[in-house]
């Protein structure tokens, strides 16, 4: 009904918007996506996703959202470059 993804998956597909064209499946370099039993694209191997966003960019129906995973490293201040 809504998005089909495992918890924490970086890729979500709005199945209601997906027209099963298969473009996302063919462009994904990591074979993350495949057709589910409902005939819609679904992230079958979300752990393999490298978040390249190709699927999101190529989907003609804007059905895919790639959520950039927060890095475990410190992403705080980018080095306080105060000249003094």
Per CB under 6 A, residues contacting ligand SF4 are 11, 13, 18-24, 27-30, 32-33, 41, 49-55, 59, 61, 63-64, 66
Calpha distance 56→66 (Å, rounded): 6
The residue among 20 and 82 lying less far from ligand SF4, judged by its C-beta, is 20
Q: How far is CA 52 from CA 3, 37, 80, in A?
A: 19, 25, 30
Local structure of 23: helix, strand or coil: helix
- Structural contact between residues 18 and 40, judged by C-beta atoms closer than 8 angstroms: yes
We find the least distance from the C-beta atom of residue 54 to ligand SF4, in angstroms, to be: 4
Calpha distance 16→5 (Å, rounded): 14
The residue among 55 and 78 lying less far from ligand SF4, judged by its C-beta, is 55
We find the least distance from the C-beta atom of residue 11 to ligand SF4, in angstroms, to be: 4
The residue among 62 and 83 lying less far from ligand SF4, judged by its C-beta, is 62
């Amino acid at each position: 009904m809504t998005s089909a993804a495992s918890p924490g998956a970086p890729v979500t597909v709005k199945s209601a918007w997906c027209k099963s064209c298969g473009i996302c499946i063919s462009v994904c370099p990591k074979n993350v996506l495949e057709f589910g039993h409902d005939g819609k694209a679904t992230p079958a191997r979300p752990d393999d996703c490298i978040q390249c966003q190709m699927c999101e960019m190529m989907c003609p129906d804007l059905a895919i959202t790639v959520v950039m995973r927060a890095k475990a490293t410190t992403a705080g201040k980018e080095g306080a470059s105060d000249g003094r």
